[in-house]
């Protein structure tokens, strides 16, 4: 029940295309869903996050779509660029004992071709 399932494992997209990464969770107590971006040799960095009281959040070319009833959420990267090539992790968390504990998906390696 604590798992977050992420797909696909890897993704190749042409420059200018749309990249879509999907995640699913089981624990309905989760109340915060961040996406992290990781470049090779670096630590993950927060990209965008959403709470379950909204169905969509957009920041620039990045959009999270959230389906509470299906317990699924996805990251859409519009007009994908070679600089977006990285590994993307979804996560889910719930507050407890005063600190948010993240459960991460297994990651999606995105390659955007020039």
Provide the binding-site residues for another protein, judged by CB under 8 A: 31-32, 34, 36, 41-46, 49, 51, 89, 93, 95, 97-107
Residue 57 burial (CB < 10 Å; 0-12/13-18/19+)? Answer: middle
C-alpha span between 109 and 40 (Å, rounded)? 10
Q: How far is the CB of 27 from another protein (least distance, A)?
A: 15
Give me the least distance between CB of 19 and another protein, in Å please: 19
Coil, helix or strand at residue 9: coil
3 versus 67: smaller Cβ distance to another protein: 3
17 vs 48 by CB, closer to another protein: 48
């Amino acid at each position: 029940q604590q798992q977050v399932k992420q797909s696909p494992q890897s993704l190749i997209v042409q420059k200018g295309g749309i990249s879509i990464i999907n995640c699913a969770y089981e624990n309905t107590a989760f109340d915060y869903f961040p996406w992290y971006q990781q470049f090779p040799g670096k630590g993950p960095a927060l990209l965008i996050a959403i709470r379950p009281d909204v169905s969509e959040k957009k920041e620039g070319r990045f959009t999270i779509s959230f389906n509470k009833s299906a317990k699924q959420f996805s990251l859409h990267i519009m007009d994908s660029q070679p600089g977006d090539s990285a590994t993307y992790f979804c996560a889910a968390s719930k507050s407890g004992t005063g600190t948010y504990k993240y459960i991460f998906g297994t990651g999606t390696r995105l390659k955007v071709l020039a």
